[in-house]
Amino acid sequence: MTEHPGTTRDRPPLAAVARVLVVTVVLSVVLSLLHVPSAVLFGSLLGGMAHALTSPVEIRVPATAFRLGQALIGVTIGSLVSLSALAGMGSALLPITAVTVGTVLVSLAAGRLLAVRRDVSEVTGAFAMIAGGASGVVAIARELGADDRVVTVVQYLRVLLVLLTMPLVTALVFHPERGVGTFEVGSATLVQDLAYVAVALAGGLLIARFVPVTTATLLGPLAVAAVVSSAGWLGTPSVPVALQWAAYALIGVQVGLRFTRASLASITRMLPVVLLIIVAMIALTAAMGAALAWLTPVDGLTAYLATTPGGLFAVLATAADSGSDVTYVMAVQLFRLLVILLLTPALARLLRARRG
């Protein structure tokens, strides 16, 4: 971390950096034990806030380190992409595309509703409510012109509510068997995983240098990671957990350091409205899942899990445990995630133009 320009020292006091690191580590461990989603991102967010709200000295994450965090998140998302699973959607592509478009439209309507508030811009409302790819959206929110503080809080509040309601809906509505299977991620060695990350980072950041897209730092590594993973050149690789934690920490601290008491109070005031909007979104996407089950041969539980607005790993684990079609669920979830991340630059330009 470096000191913000305008302070008189080349570096922030060691105590300030130490406070951020200690709070980040302690809270990340506690939140992990409580099974909070993206615990490291939340821990680092609170670590940054602990300094920003109690000290007049402004510190920030160096731009290079923040871009590295974005790129690592891109590689993490890309490692999940299975081109064969996406290609296997086949004859169901039309209804799946319709459901994906419907989910995006519901998200934009929810964002527009949130933007009725004076303290939320239309761009911020849209990306705070967009359903899918929470970590990717949070990582690029500020570059898209949105308030990344609002986007971070609302995106992960949605993920948390999805995770809380999914087991209840699954058990009460579908009554599935339990313990049918497990969901496994990656089977490559650590050396293969590190090689995979290095190749995806190098290739992706090289692409980002020559592609004039705002989100290229995330999308470039994502694309390279997806191609390498699907090709099987390095087995079935994944991003080592420690590197994922580092990426989330870099993003979370950066967002946390930008909090002020006024912004925190503003976000707190909007939470009741946000909760109501998120609950409505979850209900509408569940209705789309029912429509998907009606339009295709897939069973109701698989369709419901495929259309939940967030919580990918928990969704896949639930699908495996209940005997649902994990490949189908992953394909639909990843299809929506990729569509959203690819649309974000154009959507941001459109919303900024409307605001202008």
How large a percentage of the chain has pLDDT more than 90?
60
Which range is least confidently modeled, 15-19, 34-38, 92-96, 335-339? 34-38
Residues forming beta bridges with residue 7, ordered by sequence position = 5
Q: What is the pTM of this model?
A: 0.88
DSSP letters of 295-325? HSSS-HHHHHHHH-SS-HHHHHHHHHHTT--
How many Å apart are CA 86 and CA 270, to the nearest integer? 37
Residue 323 to residue 325: CA distance in whole angstroms: 7
Cβ atoms < 10 Å from Cβ of 249 = 25
Residues 6+ apart with CB under 8 A from 70: 139, 140, 217, 218, 247, 251
* Dist. CA 105–CA 102, nearest whole Å: 5
Encode pLDDT of 250-277 as tens digits: 999 999 999 999 999 999 999 999 999 9
Sequence-distant (6+) residues with CB within 8 A of 312 are 80, 333, 337
Give the DSSP H or E segment for 57.
none
User: What are the residue boundaries of the structural domains of the chain, listed by start?
Assistant: 62-355
Domain boundaries 62-355, CATH class: mainly alpha
pLDDT digits (tens, 9 = 90+) for 161-209: 998 899 889 989 998 877 655 556 666 788 999 999 999 999 999 999 9
Distance CA 109, CA 281 (A): 10
| 186 contacts 328 by C-beta, under 8 angstroms | no
Which of the 8 DSSP states describes residue 174? I
Asked if residues 229 and 185 have their Cβ atoms less than 8 Å apart, the reply is no
**Cα 242 to Cα 64, 72, 328, distances in angstroms:** 19, 11, 29
| Cβ–Cβ < 8 Å for 319, 329 | yes
Q: What is the 3-state secondary structure (H, E, C) of 44-56?
A: HHHHHHHHHCCCC
Q: What is the pLDDT of residue 215?
A: 86
